[in-house]
C-alpha cells in the first residue's frame, strides 16, 4: 500500500549566484506589488534559467510572456491582468537579449502593456514627440478618480535599461491613486527609444527631452504644471538632476539615486580592475570571442554599454562617461528629494551626500535600509514603500 504524503507544494524560488542576475530577478519580483508579475510565474521562469547564462533567461521569460498574455478564457479583467504581467515578462526578456532581438521583445512589452491598459479601463494616453529626428514615446495617466481641479504632475523617466512601461509599476500605479497625474517619458539611448530608433545613444543633456514632453501637454486644463515634479530613477537620477540644473520646467526634483558624476558611479559599479585595464576589443567582435575567454554576461554588459553610449570599444565607453556630469549642482534651486539604498555601496552614498550639500534648494536625503526590504538599487524589494515616501513628500510640498 502506497503511503500518502502531504506537501505544501513543489514550487521553489532559488536565487542566482551571479549578483547582477539575482538583482534582475528581484527587479521582476518587485513589480508584483502593482500587478507587474506573479511570484509563482516568475518562479517557473527562474527554474528554466541557467545561472550566468543570458540566453536561457531570454528564452524563459519570452516563453512565460507568450503563455501568460494569451489566457484561454476570462473577461476583460482577467485578460487585462494577464497582459499587465506579460508586459513585464517581455521587458525582462528584452533586458538580456542580444541587440538583434531586443527591439522586437521590447515592442511586444509595449503592445501588451497598452492592451492591458485598455482591457483594465485605465486611462493611458500615448504621447509621442520628435526630437533631433528621433521619435520618443511616453504615457500620460490621469489620477483616479479625476478631480475637478487640475492635478499635480509627476514627470518620470528611467535610466540605462528601464522603460516607460516599467515606470507604471515603479510610481504611476501608486501615484494616480493619490491624486497625481503621471507623464512617463523616455529620451535618447533609452531602451524604449532604441526599439524604434536602433542607433539612438545617450546624450548628457536631457533638458530638451523634458521640455519636449512638457510642451506636448502644456495646454491640458487637467494638469497643474505649477505643481510638477521630475522623478529620475536609476541613471534617471543623473538625467533628471542635470535637466533641472539646465532649466527643465519642473518645480521639484526627485533623484533615485542622486547621481552627479556618472563616470565615478559606473567605475565603482564595474570595478577598478576592468576600468583600469579595459578589454581591447571592438564591439563588433564581441560575439566571436569564445565564452571561456569572455563569459556571456560580460559580453552582454560590454556590448550594451558600448551601443547605448555610441562607442566602438569599452575604453571609449569609459571615456564617454566623463561627459555625463552635473556641472552646476547649485543651479538646482527647486525642492529636492534624494533617495538611495543602504546596499548600493559607498560611491552612491558619497554622491547622495554631495548632492545634498551642493544643491541650492531645500533637500531631503532619504536612505532606504536593508531592514525595510528596500536597501537595493531603486528599492525593487519594496516598491510600495518607495512610492509612499515619494508621494508623502509631494503631499507635504504641495498640499
Which residues are designated catalytic?
234
CA dihedral 89, 95, 97, 102 (to 10 degrees): 80
Specify whether the CB–CB gap between 396 and 252 falls below 8 A.
Answer: no
Which residues lie below 8 Å from residue 158, measured CB to CB, with a gap of 6+?
A: 164, 166, 167, 170, 186, 190, 191, 233, 234, 235, 236
Going across the sheet that includes 223-233, the strands are: 125-131, 134-141, 181-185, 151-157, 223-233, 252-256, 336-341, 363-368
What whole-number distance in Å separates Cα of residue 223 and Cα of residue 244?
20
- Sequence-distant (6+) residues with CB within 8 A of 219 are none
Please compute, for residue 133, the number of CA atoms within 13 A of its CA located in the half-sphere on the CB side. 5
**Ramachandran region of residue 36, left (φ > 0), alpha (ψ -120 to 50) or beta?**
alpha
Q: Return d(Cα 89, Cα 26) in angstroms, integer.
A: 13
What sections of 17-119 are H helices per DSSP? 19-30, 39-47, 54-68, 76-96, 99-119
Spell out a b/e string for 126-160, using b for 16 or more CB atoms within 10 Å of the CB, else e.
ebebebeebebbbbbbbbeeeeeeebbbbbbbbbb
314 contacts 306 by C-beta, under 8 angstroms: yes
Nearest to 42 by CA among 32, 51, 34, 52: 32
Q: At what angle do helices 76-96 and 19-30 cross, to 10 degrees?
A: 160
272: left (phi over 0), alpha (psi -120 to 50) or beta: alpha
Amino acid at each position: 500500500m502506497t503511503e500518502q504524503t502531504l506537501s505544501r507544494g513543489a514550487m521553489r524560488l532559488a536565487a542566482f549566484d551571479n549578483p547582477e542576475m539575482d538583482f534582475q530577478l528581484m527587479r521582476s519580483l518587485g513589480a508584483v506589488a502593482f500587478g507587474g508579475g506573479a511570484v509563482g510565474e516568475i518562479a517557473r521562469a527562474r527554474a528554466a534559467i541557467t545561472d550566468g547564462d543570458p540566453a536561457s533567461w531570454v528564452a524563459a521569460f519570452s516563453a512565460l510572456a507568450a503563455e501568460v498574455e494569451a489566457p484561454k478564457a476570462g473577461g476583460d479583467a482577467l485578460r487585462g491582468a494577464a497582459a499587465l504581467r506579460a508586459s513585464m515578462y517581455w521587458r525582462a526578456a528584452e533586458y538580456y537579449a542580444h541587440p538583434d532581438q531586443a527591439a522586437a521583445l521590447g515592442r511586444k512589452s509595449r503592445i501588451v502593456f497598452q492592451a492591458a491598459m485598455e482591457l483594465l479601463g485605465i486611462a493611458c494616453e500615448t504621447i509621442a514627440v520628435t526630437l533631433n529626428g528621433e521619435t520618443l514615446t511616453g504615457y500620460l495617466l490621469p489620477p483616479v478618480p479625476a478631480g475637478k481641479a487640475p492635478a499635480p504632475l509627476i514627470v518620470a523617466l528611467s535610466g540605462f535599461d528601464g522603460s516607460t512601461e516599467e515606470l507604471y509599476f515603479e510610481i504611476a500605479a501608486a501615484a494616480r491613486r493619490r491624486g497625481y497625474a503621471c507623464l512617463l517619458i523616455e529620451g535618447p539611448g533609452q531602451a524604449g527609444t532604441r526599439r524604434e530608433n536602433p542607433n539612438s545613444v545617450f546624450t548628457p543633456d536631457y533638458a530638451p527631452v523634458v521640455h519636449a514632453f512638457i510642451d506636448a501637454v502644456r495646454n491640458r486644463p487637467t494638469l497643474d504644471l505649477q505643481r510638477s515634479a521630475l522623478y529620475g530613477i536609476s541613471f534617471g537620477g543623473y538625467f533628471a538632476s542635470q535637466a533641472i540644473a539646465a532649466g527643465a520646467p519642473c518645480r521639484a526634483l526627485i533623484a533615485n539615486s542622486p547621481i552627479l558624476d556618472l563616470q565615478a558611479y559606473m567605475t565603482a559599479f564595474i570595478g577598478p580592475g576592468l576600468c583600469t585595464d579595459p578589454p581591447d576589443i571592438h564591439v563588433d567582435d564581441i560575439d566571436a570571442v569564445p565564452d571561456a575567454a569572455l563569459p556571456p554576461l560580460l559580453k552582454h554588459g560590454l556590448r550594451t554599454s558600448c551601443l547605448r553610449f555610441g562607442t566602438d570599444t569599452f575604453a571609449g565607453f569609459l571615456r564617454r562617461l566623463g561627459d555625463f556630469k552635473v556641472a552646476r549642482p547649485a543651479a538646482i534651486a527647486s525642492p529636492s528629494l534624494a533617495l538611495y539604498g543602504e546596499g548600493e555601496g559607498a560611491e552612491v552614498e558619497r554622491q547622495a551626500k554631495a548632492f545634498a550639500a551642493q544643491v541650492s534648494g531645500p533637500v531631503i536625503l532619504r536612505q532606504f535600509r536593508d531592514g525595510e526590504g528596500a536597501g537595493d538599487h531603486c528599492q525593487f524589494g519594496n516598491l510600495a514603500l518607495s512610492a509612499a515616501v515619494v508621494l508623502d513628500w509631494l503631499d507635504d510640498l504641495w498640499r
